[in-house]
Chain A
Amino acid sequence: MNNFSYLIRQGIKSVWRNRFMSFAGFCVLTVSMLLVGLSGLIMIDCEIILQNVSEQNEISVYLNDDADIDAVGEEIKASSLTASVRYISPEDGLKQMVENYEEQKVLFDNLPYNPVPPTYMVTIKDLDRLKDASASFAQIDGVYKVNAPMDFAGFIRDLRTAFTIVGLVLIIALGTVSVIVIANTTRLSVFARRKEIAIMRVVGATNLFVKTPFFVEGMFIGLISGVASWGITKLIYERLYEMIYTNFREWTALGITNILPFSTVNWYLLGAYCVLGALLGAIGTVVSTGKYLKV
């Protein structure tokens, strides 16, 4: 098409001609995509953490110092919920703790006594029955405390559900708002160019020729919004990542610091934002040109 560049220019000129509406469209699209994108990333992070927690479906069963270690071990092994049992003596437990907290090694140098109790690490068969297993092991004579990651797993699961719901609501609600705003921008654009369009019709312009600049306009706003959303997401997520990494290092065992670094999704996210923005822009244009442009 000889005039393709002409049509592209016309579309981009329209963005400037209707700059206030274009700006409104840009803002709504950017905020919508930003919220959707951040929700998506948090959903992925929740999934990663859940995966980590699932992989570590071990319950720590701490015993009293005077407990009959073998008897307790036999009773745990006999449970139908138990998959495997591993005994960690107080000495090995302390050694492992020192390894885990190597940077604070000095704290363990002059301990008056070994604070780590005899412990059984129990892997259970079904993560969904974590709570039952935990309650059952706590009943065994000689057990001092049972530690299961169930509260944390439940919290992460709830968080993931919340972000899934919020994400979906945002996608539907803000997506609709974005389409309406873009449709209005296009409508104003059609109105501003009504004389030109009337002349186009009279001189024999095809539907494609008349509609292409409006598509370009919608998609251009969408693309710019996509780039802006990506930039803001990068800014927010990288700060968030840094904050989590710095403040929750001791939660390494639960996989919280395994969350997605932005660099791994950087370009995918930019692509996704641009495609989503252009798509929303195009849908808004289709709605508007279909309704207001009877060529």
Chain B
Amino acid sequence: MVELKNVDVHFKDGGGVDALNGINIRIDDGEFVFIIGDSGAGKSTLLKLLTREILPTSGRVFVNGYNLAKIKNKKIPYFRRSIGMIFQDFRLIPDLNVYENVAFVLRVTNRPKREIRHRVPYVLNLVKLADRAKMFPDKLSGGEMQRVAIARAFASNPGLIIADEPTANIDPALSYDIVKLLKEINKCGTTVIMVTHEHSLVEYFGGRIISLKAGDVVFDDYIGGTAEDE
């Protein structure tokens, strides 16, 4: 579960900027939520709060049972293991092949070798990249790289996946496949928070939409998607 209570974020740099103004958001386990908003709306600040890269100026942030305002520094890595991150620039390690990129997360979290041998082929199969396991990132298309990133985020079976504009750097036609993949993962019970600029995607898939504008939540409700009509 993700819960933000009266969260303010104020940056002192640049003469002082109010990035978030007392927002309240609650996302229950198993939900799929789109977060939309223009540049400067506070989306990135929200994501940084959720991954404990920054602290709120005031208010409380709870993610997967952790109170992020009070979490000790040495506990942060363990908290981060409970979430999977997907970035618009994929952030794959260039000198590791697809298999190793996915296995990397499991190695970092000190998972047993046997689990790595079972889990990595499973998630690669899920994102339909089993046949690309030995390829290096520079030989993959944008869509394929993002699927590797999704596999990596899902490899440790986190309770929450946060996708930061995962379709921004790929072919628009493939964007739908990426969201469908995230929806599939969501069906397994994983909460998915996806930040996006692409209104067409949101309109197509529908569901819960949180819209931010100048640091305020201006819309938080469910909409029907056109995909449901198909």
Q: Which residues of A contact B (CB under 8 A)?
A: 1-3, 6, 195-196, 198-207, 209
Q: For the complex, give the distance between the alpha carbons of A3 and B105 in Å.
A: 12
Knowing A3-B107, A6-B107 are in contact, say whether A201-B112 is a contact too (CB < 8 A). Answer: no
Contact with A along B75-91 (1 / 0, CB 8 A): 00111111011000001
Q: List 26 A-B contacts (CB under 8 A).
A: A3-B107, A3-B110, A6-B107, A195-B94, A198-B91, A199-B91, A201-B80, A202-B51, A203-B81, A203-B84, A203-B85, A203-B105, A203-B156, A204-B78, A204-B80, A204-B81, A204-B82, A204-B108, A204-B109, A205-B77, A205-B108, A205-B109, A206-B74, A206-B77, A207-B77, A209-B110
Q: Which residues of B contact A (CB under 8 A)?
A: 51, 74, 77-82, 84-85, 91, 93-94, 104-105, 107-113, 152, 156
B104 touches A202 (CB 8 A): no
Task: Look across to chain B and name the residue whose beta carbon is closest to the beta carbon of A209.
Answer: B108
Q: For the complex, give the distance between the alpha carbons of A28 and B121 in Å.
A: 46
Interface of B is mostly: mixed
Q: For the complex, give the distance between the alpha carbons of A195 and B94 in Å.
A: 9
The residues of B that contact A205 with a CB separation of less than 8 Å are 77, 108-109
A203 touches B109 (CB 8 A): yes
* A-B CB proximity, top 6 nearest: A204-B81, A204-B80, A205-B108, A204-B77, A203-B105, A206-B77
A2 touches B112 (CB 8 A): yes
Q: For the complex, give the distance between the alpha carbons of A201 and B109 in Å.
A: 11
B110 touches A199 (CB 8 A): no
The residues of B that contact A202 with a CB separation of less than 8 Å are 51, 80, 85, 91
Pick the residue among A1, A195, A196, A204 that contacts B79 (CB under 8 A): A204
Interface centre among A3, A202, A209 (most CB of B within 10 A): A202
Interface of A is mostly: helix
Q: For the complex, give the distance between the alpha carbons of A201 and B78 in Å.
A: 10
Pick the residue among A2, A195, A196 that contacts B110 (CB under 8 A): A2
Knowing A205-B77, A206-B77 are in contact, say whether A200-B108 is a contact too (CB < 8 A). Answer: yes
The residues of B that contact A203 with a CB separation of less than 8 Å are 80-81, 84-85, 104-105, 108-109, 152, 156
Chain A: minimal CB distance from B158 (Å)? 9
The residues of B that contact A3 with a CB separation of less than 8 Å are 107, 110
A199 touches B104 (CB 8 A): yes
Q: For the complex, give the distance between the alpha carbons of A1 and B109 in Å.
A: 11
B93 touches A195 (CB 8 A): yes
Besides A1-B110, A6-B107, A195-B91, 9 other A-B contacts (C-beta < 8 A)? A2-B111, A196-B93, A198-B91, A199-B91, A201-B80, A203-B104, A203-B105, A203-B156, A204-B82
Q: For the complex, give the distance between the alpha carbons of A198 and B51 in Å.
A: 13
Task: Look across to chain B and name the residue whose beta carbon is closest to the beta carbon of A7.
Answer: B107
Pick the residue among B51, B91, B113 that contacts A2 (CB under 8 A): B113
Q: For the complex, give the distance between the alpha carbons of A206 and B82 in Å.
A: 14
